[in-house]
């Protein structure tokens, strides 16, 4: 199921404090870019997720955020993607969401 136009508008509004954003539909969702670097995705099943790389992965894990994983057919264990669900507080607070995005971008 694809993300809705409302989901896209919500995410672009949420991160508008970062400056101009570009988007691209892919992976059954929407990728969000700042200056050509992907920093978040919107997925119809998982919502808004922030990308974690480098030491920022440890920060997201320490915040006890849910990492996006999926099970491939025949695989022994789930595959972990480098994205974590935003905390509910960040979904209600564009400043918090943009702070997390800026932190993510420093490691990408």
Decide: helix, strand or coil at residue 22: strand
pTM tops 0.75, yes or no = yes
The answer for residues whose C-beta is within 8 angstroms of residue 16's C-beta and 6 or more apart is 94
Which fold would CATH assign to domain 5-106? Yope Regulator; Chain: A, (3.30.1460)
Per-residue pLDDT at 33: 97
What separation in angstroms does the CA of 76 have from each of 70, 71, 84? 12, 8, 22
* pLDDT tens across the length of the chain (108 residues): 688 899 999 999 999 999 999 999 986 799 999 999 999 999 988 899 999 998 999 999 999 999 999 888 888 899 999 999 999 999 999 999 999 999 999 998
- 108: helix, coil or strand? coil
Residue with token string 């969401």: 97
């Amino acid at each position: 199921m694809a993300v809705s136009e409302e989901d896209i508008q919500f995410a672009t509004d949420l991160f508008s404090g970062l400056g101009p954003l570009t988007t691209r539909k892919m992976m059954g969702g929407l990728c969000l870019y700042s200056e050509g670097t992907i920093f978040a995705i919107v997925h119809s099943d998982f919502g808004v997720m922030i990308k974690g790389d480098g030491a920022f992965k440890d920060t997201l894990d320490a915040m006890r955020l849910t990492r996006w994983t999926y099970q491939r057919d025949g695989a022994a264990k789930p595959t972990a993607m480098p994205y974590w669900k935003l905390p509910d507080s960040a979904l209600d607070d564009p400043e918090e969401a943009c702070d997390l995005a800026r932190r993510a971008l420093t490691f990408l």
